[in-house]
Every structure is written in C-alpha cells, then in structure tokens.
C-alpha cells in the first residue's frame, strides 16, 4: 500500500518545510493533513476504484465545479493518485447533528444549491450515477469475489428491481450521491459539502433519500425535506418514489460495504458497517411496502 504521508509530502506544491499527519474519517480514501508556509491542506490519496465506479477525472471535475458554485473548498493541486483541497477549520457533522432542524435546513439548502448551480460550472466529461446499475454491478463483483454475502444476493436484486420499477420517471440533476453526515462540515458560520467521489447525473431523490437514511430522519422531517425541496407537500406518488429511492440508497451503502469487506485494505470494521446498513435498508424497504 502507498505510504500516504510520503506520497503527500512528495507533491511539488508545498512551500517551506511541510509537515504531514494522517487525517481520520476516510473509509474509501487515505487522507492526509499537510501544513506548510502557506497554511493547511487536505491530500486525498487514491487511484481509480473500478469496483466502486470511482473515476478520479470525474471527482476532480465535480470538486472544481462544486468550489466554483460555493459548495466545497478549493482544489489546490491534482496529479494521478492525489487530490489536494483547501483545509476548512470546521466540525464534521454527525447523524445527530443533521436531525437538528436548523442544521437539517442548512444541509438541504446546500444540497439544493449543489443540484442547481454545479452544472453551471461543470466542464468536460461527467459520469452518470444510477443506483440500480450500481447495485447490479456490486452483486456481480460480490459473486466474482466469492463474498460470504452471496446467498443473499438474488433476493436483494429482486427487491432492487421492485424498487426501480417504483421509482419510475426521474428528473436529472448533478448529485453528490454520498450524503453521509461526515461529508458535511460546519465552520461555525456555514456548511460545506466535501468528497465528490460518486458525483454524477442522476435523480435528486437519491440524494434526498440518502440524506434521510444516513441521518436517521423521522417521517415528519422527511415530509419537511420533500416539501422544502419541491416547494409543495408531497403527494402519494412522490412519497412512493422517494421511499423506493431511500431504500435503494440504504441498500447501496450496505452493498458498498460488502464490496469493501473483500477489496479494501483500510483498517475499518466493514462487517459491522454492512450489518448496520442492512438493518437500515430493511426498515426502509418495510416503510416503502406499507404505502398503497
């Protein structure tokens, strides 16, 4: 495995004598905090990850556009295997934070800003993110890797097909597609959205459902979320499509972790993460199925 400290310090952008230390929190990439004469910066170490459909050219384009839109910190440097972004002195959000109504309002405003304004600044090729394709691809990867979760895959894919039919038509936005609480930062004045590994064109319902599933929002908060995003109270059709996508978002997180179990070298308890998100998925699937 690449030594992230040595890799970060080898970049040609530093002034003075840089110091580096590991930066925790990453569960896909290796992150390093570097301090030099200019200030502090975060170095994200990582190549393309085909099993997760992560392509670094796409992450770079999305990161630049997100900064231009005022959503994310600036990109300071990039080269194959390394992306350097400006450091923001801030607090990482938790699920509990995002269940606070004031924080939830800030988070949703930031997501809406991203959906609306990032496309104005996006340059060059950009990927599409369709969660049901991701789930089918994950299932194939898990079969090829002889994952211990193989016996469950056929049932999960049948459920995913049911959810895909329910989602039906979509509108297209440029989404973040990884709205974990830890990807929201608060600097005491405003909120920032980071980590654009999975960014791409897709349905806004995926970001909304992912935010709700990852933060553990209750039904009242979900109703507020949909009404605030769409400008009107959700009808039965929107509820059904949203709940289908929320379940798919939770399943994607669980199957992402299943793939990490057999492919990642990072020191992280992916088995426990998988189990937790399978519970979240089953609850979301049950909530979807009680709708008419």
Run of H or E residues at 94:
none
Give the span between the Cα atoms of 89 and 186, in whole angstroms: 8
Q: What is the pLDDT of residues 156-187, one digit of tens each?
A: 999 999 999 999 999 999 999 999 999 999 99
* Beta strand extents in the chain (DSSP E only): 19-22, 30-35, 40-45, 75-79, 82-86, 91-92, 173-175, 184-186, 191-193, 200-202
Mean pLDDT to the nearest integer, 121-141: 97
pLDDT at 2: 66
Calculate Rg over the CA atoms of the chain.
Answer: 19
Whole-model pTM above 0.85? yes
Q: Nearest Cα to 192, choosing from 70, 94, 59?
A: 70
pLDDT at 30: 86
Give the span between the Cα atoms of 111 and 178, in whole angstroms: 11
For tokens 């993110």, the residue is 129
Q: What is the pLDDT of residues 223-271, one digit of tens each?
A: 999 999 999 999 999 999 999 999 999 999 999 999 999 999 888 999 9
Mean pLDDT to the nearest integer, 82-91: 97
With H, G, I as helix, E, B as strand and everything else as coil, classify residue 184.
Answer: strand
Mean pLDDT to the nearest integer, 4-23: 95
Q: Nearest Cα to 177, choosing from 228, 213, 218?
A: 213
Q: Give the domains, in start order, of the chain with CATH numbers.
A: 4-86 (3.30.200.20), 91-289 (3.90.1200.10)
């Amino acid at each position: 495995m690449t030594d992230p400290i040595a890799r970060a310090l080898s970049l040609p952008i530093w002034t003075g004598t840089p110091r580096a230390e590991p930066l925790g929190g990453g569960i896909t990439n290796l992150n390093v905090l570097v301090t030099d004469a200019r200030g502090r910066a975060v170095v994200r170490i990582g190549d393309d990850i085909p099993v997760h459909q992560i392509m670094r050219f796409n992450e770079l384009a999305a990161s630049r556009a997100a900064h231009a839109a005022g959503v994310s910190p600036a990109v300071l440097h990039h080269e194959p295997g390394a992306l350097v972004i400006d450091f923001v002195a801030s607090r990482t959000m938790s699920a509990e934070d995002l269940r606070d109504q004031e924080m939830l309002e800030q988070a949703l405003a930031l997501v809406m800003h991203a959906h609306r304004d990032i496309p104005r600044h996006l340059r060059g090729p950009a990927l599409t993110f369709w969660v049901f394709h991701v789930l089918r691809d994950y299932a194939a990867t898990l079969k090829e890797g002889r994952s211990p979760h193989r016996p469950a895959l056929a049932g999960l894919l049948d459920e995913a097909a049911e959810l895909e039919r329910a989602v039906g038509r979509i509108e297209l936005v440029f989404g973040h597609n990884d709205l974990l609480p830890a990807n929201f930062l608060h600097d005491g004045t405003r909120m920032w959205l980071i980590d654009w590994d999975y960014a791409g064109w897709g349905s806004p319902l995926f970001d909304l459902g992912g935010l709700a599933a990852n933060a553990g929002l209750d039904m009242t908060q979900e109703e507020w979320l949909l009404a605030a995003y769409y400008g009107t109270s959700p009808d039965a059709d929107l509820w059904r499509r949203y709940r289908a996508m929320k379940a798919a978002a939770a399943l994607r997180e669980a199957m992402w972790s299943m793939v990490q179990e057999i492919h990642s070298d990072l020191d992280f308890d992916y088995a426990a993460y998988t189990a937790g998100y399978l519970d979240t998925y089953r609850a979301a699937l049950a909530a979807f199925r009680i709708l008419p």
